Structure 1
């Protein structure tokens, strides 16, 4: 078995054809500098929020799914269409569905999205669902923050807001004009080797929200984010990259936590285990690895994805599949 990282570009690779044709790529996790393989193309139609920024791997089926961003820019409609595309990994067999919003006026907040599969802790049987964190990290686009959503795996499935902490959900939060969390995040990784309602991380490698690069623990039952876990370089300096990110656990064998940035750079994050193991949204002990509230990000390499270095195409979604 080989671990492959999957990502999807955000630009139309066949502009002469109708709709938006985006390319799916994979690369071996053991060799991120190697030339990626083009797996196939997905037609996301002509909707304004067509970028497939959220990627996750279902622990039950082993298949990867993609989810579109909530909003394309500050001047576009809020979450006009929700698209989930299953089977974007090998064997490539993309199947698109538009989940039903519950309630019908629900709209996702933000512009940048991350996704991953995990258990639904609000149900006794804990079925697997697709979680989506969607946020705004730029003050030019309005209030900074993020909200957590979940989509059932049925076809087409249902989309709902995860908000079980603090005051009752407001109309603005339900309609996507206000976030439930004041912290921005656009990557999501859920621990499916040792499942638990707070064994998940969200990532923020942006600076436009006024802080440096960070992780947050995620409560999958309430949607609440923890205090920040500051990311540092191996030399102990604050990581300061200002890029969109995707986040994924290997979820097989010796578990690893990796981030893919929009340029194709791949980072391995270490020293997070005490934070992940801490009760609830706690961040562990000061005597733990790296101390409480800190983790280390080390550059493994850069995937030579088409037009990534120039910035003409961004690659923001990321998941890992064991094939």
Structure 2
């Protein structure tokens, strides 16, 4: 078996009148750094009509079926929040056979927060999780921060805000005008299905434009809480300094690897996070672990040559997941 990555681009022609034509690409995950990576287009998701914000930014692999699931970016365009529907698209890998469902919001007045999003599937909870956040406060007038959402399986299933934190969810959090993790921007999500547990999940932030550098965060799937940042470094020990939307994925077969992804097609392997997760006495909100003071190493494996990813007006490829094939 081999590890393949999947990603989805934005609307190919930018013309909503003929549907949202989102191309899906597949590529081999390198075992070591090695330069350019050539992808193969395996299909196109066409979301009919004029669905607002149909970018399929959250990609996840269902560990039971081995198939790829995608979640759109259902953000609001302005306040008061009035986002388009949450869309879950199943089976966007090979063989290519997409199907669409729109989860029911619970409660009914729930508004998803955030302009950027990532997703992953938890086998332990038998649910799809989505993380959404803003990196700047001027995007729709919403405050900077990240929130975690749970999407139950089924047709259509339900979507709910994961926010206990020991206190009731506020009306502002339900309406999307107040984040549940203020000051933290995350747009990628990876859940460890080989070693399940409430904190065996990580979120990614590869943006420097939010003012706090490139980081990982531990994610508590039961409370929606994000930890203090785990700073990403280069193999030489310098702070990683990239500025792009990202996603994150664990491999779930054999020797586990954590792979990071940038919308430009850059593929990173992230190491050194295991001690941070397993260190005795470490709790959410702490950035001190046995591998130092909350650091992990990001090594560039290569760049996937996706169409127009590095153009002046680029096509963005923000979602990423890994399939064992």
Q: Structure 2-normalised TM-score? A: 0.92
Aligned to 2:271: 270
Contact 2:76 / 2:84 at 8 angstroms: preserved in 1?
A: no
After TM superposition, give the deviation of residue 32 of structure 1 in Å: 7.4
Alpha-carbon shift at residue 261 of structure 1 (Å): 0.2
- Aligned-residue CA RMSD in angstroms? 1.9
Unaligned stretches of 5+ in structure 1? Answer: 120-125
Q: CA deviation at 1:238?
A: 1.0
Shift in alpha-carbon separation, 1:276–1:313, aligned structure 2, 3 A: same
- CA 1:16–1:211 in 2, change beyond 3 Å: closer, same or farther? closer
Tell me the distance in 2 between the aligned counterparts of 1:143 and 1:50.
22
**How far off is 1:13 after superposition?**
3.9
What's the CA shift for 1:43?
1.3
Residues 5 and 319, structure 1, Cα contact 8 Å, conserved in 2: yes
Tell me the equivalent position of 1:138: 136
Match of 1:111 in 2: 115
Matched residue, 2:98:
94
The alignment covers a number of residue pairs equal to 315
Residues 1:40 and 1:77: Cα distance change in structure 2 (over 3 Å): farther
Task: Name the structure 2 match of 1:316.
Answer: 318
- Per-residue deviation, 1:139: 2.7
Residue 147 of structure 2 is matched in structure 1 by 147
Q: Secondary structure in 2 aligned to 1:276?
A: helix
Q: Distance in 2 between matches of 1:32 and 1:134?
A: 31
- SS in structure 1 at match of 2:5: strand
- TM-score of the pair, normalised by structure 1: 0.92
Spell out, residue by residue over 1:164-206, the C-alpha distance to the aligned partner (whole angstroms, 9 max, x if none): 1053211111111211011110000000011111000000011
Match of 1:254, SS state, is coil
Shift of 1:80: 2.0
In structure 2, what is the equivalent of residue 47 of structure 1? Answer: 51
What is the deviation of 1:239?
1.1
| Alignment map for 1:1-323 (pairs within 5 Å) | 1-13=1-13, 15=15, 18-30=18-30, 33-45=36-48, 46-71=50-75, 73-74=77-78, 77-119=81-123, 126-141=124-139, 142-182=142-182, 183-278=184-279, 279-281=282-284, 286=289, 288-289=290-291, 291-310=292-311, 311-323=313-325
